[in-house]
Structure 1
Amino acid sequence: MELLRLGPIGHEIPVVRDKDVHYDLRPLTTDIDSEFFADDGIGEVRAALDQGALKPLEGAEDRRIGAPISRPSAVVCVGMNYAAHAREAGAEPPEAPVVFFKMPSTIAGPYDELELPPYATKADWEVELGLVIGTRAFRVASAEDAYSHVAGYVLGNDLSERRFQIDESGGQWSKGKNLPGFTPLGPWIRPAAEVEPESLRLRSWVNGEVRQDSSTSDLIFDVGQIIHQLSQTMPFEPGDVILTGTPQGVAMSGKFPYLTDGDVVEMDIDGLGQHRQVVSVTQ
Structure 2
Amino acid sequence: MKFTTFLQGGQTRLGLLDGDSVIDLHAAQTQVPPSLRAALAQGVDLAAAADAALASSAPRLPMSSLMLAPLVPEPGKIICLGLNYFDHAKEGGREKPEYPWFFFRGATSLLAHGAAGIAPRVSVKFDYEAEIALVIGRRVPRHVSQDDAPGYVFGYTCFNDMSVRDYQKRTPQWTIGKNFDASGGFGPVLVTADELPYAATGLKIQGRLNGEVMQSANTSDMIWGVAETIALLSDVLTLEPGDVIVMGTPAGVGQARTPPVWMKAGDSFEVEIERIGTLVNPIRAED
Q: How does the TM-score come out when normalised to structure 2?
A: 0.92
How far apart, in 1, do the equivalents of 2:3 and 2:276 lie? 11
Partner of 2:228: 225
1:239 aligns with 2:210: no
1:105 aligns with 2:143: no
Shift of residue 54, structure 1, vs aligned partner: 5.9
Partner of 1:271: 275
Candidates 133, 140, 151, aligned match of 2:154: 151
Partner of 2:191: 190
How far apart, in 2, do the equivalents of 1:97 and 1:112 lie? 30
How far apart, in 2, do the equivalents of 1:137 and 1:268 lie? 28
CA contact (8 A) 1:24 1:54 kept: no
Shift of residue 37, structure 1, vs aligned partner: 1.1
Partner of 2:212: 209
CA contact (8 A) 2:2 2:189 kept: yes
Candidates 162, 166, 169, aligned match of 1:163: 166
What RMSD over aligned residues (CA atoms) do the two structures have, in Å?
1.8
> In the alignment, residue 104 of structure 2 is paired with which amino acid?
F
Q: Which runs of 5+ in 2 are unaligned?
A: none
Shift of residue 251, structure 1, vs aligned partner: 0.8
How far apart, in 2, do the equivalents of 1:104 and 1:176 lie? 15
CA contact (8 A) 2:131 2:271 kept: no
**Deviations 1:95-122, CA, capped at 9 Å, x for gaps:** 2111000002211101101122211221
How far apart, in 2, do the equivalents of 1:200 and 1:60 lie? 24
SS at match of 2:58: coil
SS at match of 1:143: coil
Shift of residue 41, structure 1, vs aligned partner: 4.3
Change (3 A) 1:192 1:40: farther
Change (3 A) 1:117 1:20: closer
How far apart, in 2, do the equivalents of 1:8 and 1:58 lie? 11
> In the alignment, residue 114 of structure 2 is paired with which amino acid?
Y
How far apart, in 2, do the equivalents of 1:54 and 1:220 lie? 46
CA contact (8 A) 2:117 2:283 kept: yes
How far apart, in 1, do the equivalents of 2:9 and 2:75 lie? 16
Percent of paired sites with the same residue: 30
Q: Which moved more, 1:202-211 or 1:55-64?
A: 55-64
Partner of 2:182: 181
Partner of 1:140: 143
CA contact (8 A) 2:117 2:185 kept: no
Partner of 1:252: 255
How far apart, in 1, do the equivalents of 2:39 and 2:77 lie? 15
Tell me which protein shows more strand as a share of its residues: 2
Number of equivalenced pairs: 280
1:88 aligns with 2:91: yes
Change (3 A) 1:24 1:246: same
Partner of 1:6: 6
Partner of 2:59: 56
CA contact (8 A) 1:9 1:66 kept: no
Partner of 2:266: 262
Change (3 A) 1:103 1:55: same
CA contact (8 A) 1:108 1:185 kept: yes
Change (3 A) 1:58 1:257: closer
Shift of residue 32, structure 1, vs aligned partner: 2.8
4+ residue stretches of structure 1 with deviation over 4 A? none
Q: How does the TM-score come out when normalised to structure 1?
A: 0.93
How far apart, in 1, do the equivalents of 2:173 and 2:106 lie? 14
Shift of residue 9, structure 1, vs aligned partner: 9.1
> In the alignment, residue 277 of structure 1 is paired with which amino acid?
N
